[in-house]
Structure 1
Amino acid sequence: MKKKLTIEINDLTFKCIIGILDFERIKKQRVIINISFNYQYTKNYFIDYSEVSELVKSIMKNKKFELLEDAILYIEKKLYKLYKINKLSIKISKPDILKDCIVTLSN
């Protein structure tokens, strides 16, 4: 039996190097990532959400992106390549970069 399901990974929070400002290239900052995607669940195929979470954290920590845009595009390409998914939504927030707001970029 096939069933269309949605996985949501909300508020995945960790520190990494991201940004173009001088201090952002030196000191890790907190990021919050939200990911949502659909896939066809069958008895023989499911997606391990903990694997997806760890993959995204690993990408962000190792790639040290300068732009949020580049991070989203890279993660998007990687997830589509590795998993049979559709309707992928990615949102990356930098909650500590500005004093009076949370900066977020999404696809």
Structure 2
Amino acid sequence: MKIYVEDLRFQCIIGILDFERATPQDVIVNLELEYDFQKEFINYADVASNIKKTMINEKFLLLEDAIDKISKNLQENFPTIDTLKLKITKPSILPDCVVSVEDSFHFKS
């Protein structure tokens, strides 16, 4: 079974520049996860909430650190996840483009 969380938008402190540390900025998170659906399901609302809460509370310097921490949190809180693809976008950081970081994780062999 696959779950998609697409275009989860919120504001948080993320980045290494002085103004990024002072003012929350828009981020967009996209996620694809796969799990073996048997008797238990993964609540996508809980997944979205976990991501948002982690990013708002942690105030990461790097998108890469945010992806790493979120993947570990999701694995811990939803142990039936087999694979995870996570992408975080900062749509307004540069005037002429949108930047993103993405990674994939395989939790079970």
What range is the shorter-chain TM-score in?
A: over 0.9
Gaps of 5+ in 1: none
2:67 to 55, 68, 72: 72
Corresponding residue pairs, total: 102
Q: Is the 8 A contact 2:50 2:74 kept in 1?
A: no
Q: Tell me the alpha carbon deviations over residues 26-73 of structure 1, each in whole angstroms, 9 at most, x when there is no partner.
A: 00000000011101112x200000011011000000000000000000
Tell me the TM-score normalized by structure 2.
0.92
Q: Percent identity?
A: 47
Gaps of 5+ in 2: 104-109
Confirm or deny that 1:60 pairs with 2:55: yes
Structure showing greater Rg: 1
Following TM superposition, the consecutive aligned residue runs of length 4 or more in structure 1 with deviations greater than 2 angstroms are none
Tell me the TM-score normalized by structure 1.
0.93
1:50 to 45, 53, 69: 45
